[in-house]
Amino acid sequence: MEKSNARKLMASAVCIVASMALLAGLTFAWFTDTATSKDNRIQAGTLKVELLKDGQPVAADAPIFAADKWEPGFSAGAGLAVKNAGDLAIKYELAFRNIVAEDGIDSVLDVYVLDSVRAPASADTPVGTLADFKDGRAVASSNLLEAGQTDEAQNVVVKMREGVGNAYAGKTVTFDILLRATQAASEKDGFGNDQYDAAATLPTAVSSPGEFTAAMTAGGVVELAQDVVLDGQMTIGADTVLDLNGHALTLANGTQSLKAAPGTTLTIEGDGTINGVVYADKTGMKGGTVIINAGQNFAVNAASDNGWAVYGAMGSNVVINGGTYSATQKGAGVIHALGASLVVRNATVDVGAASVMNSAGIYSNASSTTLENVTVNAKYSIAVDLKNAYGSATVRGGQFVTDKEADGFSSPTIRYQGTLDISDASITRVNTGIKFSRSYPAPTEVEGLTYANLTFTKAANAVGNDIDYR
């Protein structure tokens, strides 16, 4: 009996050990369940406004005031309203822009804003003359218009003063009516905060040197209401967006600069012209940032003694999207970058001075250089001069032309140090098309070059090779 029990105990022990060994090699299966939220989507809201005349949308090419044969005492008006056609709350301003008047006729045209659609009565007081609105102030505005709402119509009336005499006979004035809108504080975010966009502001419109200087010093969004001429340079005091709005900014006949101070960002937008240099300044190794988002008709024309149209100092960053850039004086690169990075896209660079003394259309000592679909008409000069021995450059597309020689001297079209990755570009050469040129040690072969799908065209009297080294 004792032996039998002993055998039973031994067998049980063996089973327990075997079970433990088996369990040690298994993964336990627990009760589980899942819940899934599919197709989550974040879509930006739309900010869209419509200007209504007599309840109907106004087309961009349909003038509101188009009467001719004006005479003293004559007036014309329109019931104007603003519709929020987007899905975000807005604030807006309605203003006159691009006022061009013959012999001051805009100074005898009074503007009335009436809260009902009617002609001005003798008791009504004008809000100013048409000339008064050259400073960019609003004719009408609202701090809050919710999505889908339409403001009550206001009758905007322009009236020629009685008794103005014959001095204005046959004279004309043209102007635009501009509706501008931005976000208004209304919608709540995920934290219940409805003030997250309270800082959104409409541009500060400027029409004089004093207004321009004050606005650029304060920073924010600045819009030219008309051409502005400065006697000297201008340095922004804080991050600033400048909308040229189709106008010209001239700095000392094109010889001085509009500067981004160290640590600030200057963004230039829209159509228009800058006669002068766009400049990213520095202190020590801390540089400013210049961003140009050009409209279809944007140009920088410089007459600086340095030969710059755009300049980036040490530590700066320069980004150029579109536009035409030229410099009339001998000197360095029309676009001249010494900073951390240079990016140029969809732009045209013209070397204005017909001289081999101009070093380049684009000169870059930046650590990183990117050119996309850029056209450089360099004439006698180097089209692109990449001077950083430790830098990298990428070129995609574009046309680069150096096609003139003088007294037997000619320049390469593209000269580089460091590394160059170039593809899909057209290169016109009067000397070497792409030259690897390093000061020390002197190269014995082409180095650091990756290229594909390049087209080389020889100018008259061309010498050298498509690709070579010095």
- What are the pLDDT digits (tens) for 271-288? 999 999 999 999 888 999
Residue 23: is its pLDDT beyond 60? no
Encoded amino acid at 3, one letter: K
Of the candidate ranges 66-80, 172-186, 294-308, the one whose mean pLDDT is the lowest: 172-186
Contacts of 401 (CB under 8 A, 6+ apart): 375, 376, 377, 378, 379, 383, 413, 428
The residue with greater pLDDT, 407 or 228, is: 228
Out of 144-158, 237-251, 355-369, 433-447, pick the least confident: 144-158
Query: What is the rounded average pLDDT of the residues 18-22?
Result: 51
Total Cβ atoms within 10 A of residue 291: 18
Render pLDDT for 37-72 as a digit per residue (tens, 0 to 9). 565 555 565 667 788 888 888 887 778 887 777 888
Least confident piece of the model among 108-112, 118-122, 404-408, 443-447: 118-122
1.20.272, 1.20.58, 2.60.120, 2.160.20: which CATH number matches 204-469? 2.160.20
User: Residue 274 is encoded by which pair of tokens?
Assistant: 């800058």
SS3 string of 253-316?
Answer: HHCCEEEECCCCEEEEEEEEEEECEEEECEECCEECEEEEEEEEEEEEEECCCCCCCEEECCCC
Mean pLDDT of 434-438: 94
Decide if pLDDT at 233 tops 90: yes
pLDDT tens readout for residues 55-64: 888 887 778 8
pLDDT at 18: 52
**pTM of the prediction?**
0.71
The mean pLDDT of 372-401, rounded to a whole number, is 96
Q: What is the pLDDT of residue 13?
A: 56
Where are the chain's structural domains?
Answer: 49-183, 204-469
Separation in Å, CA 38 to CA 35, 41, 43, 190: 10, 9, 16, 20
* SS3 call for 129: strand
DSSP class of 166: G
Distance CA 54, CA 196 (A): 35
Under the banding of pLDDT at 50, 70 and 90, the label for residue 263 is: very high
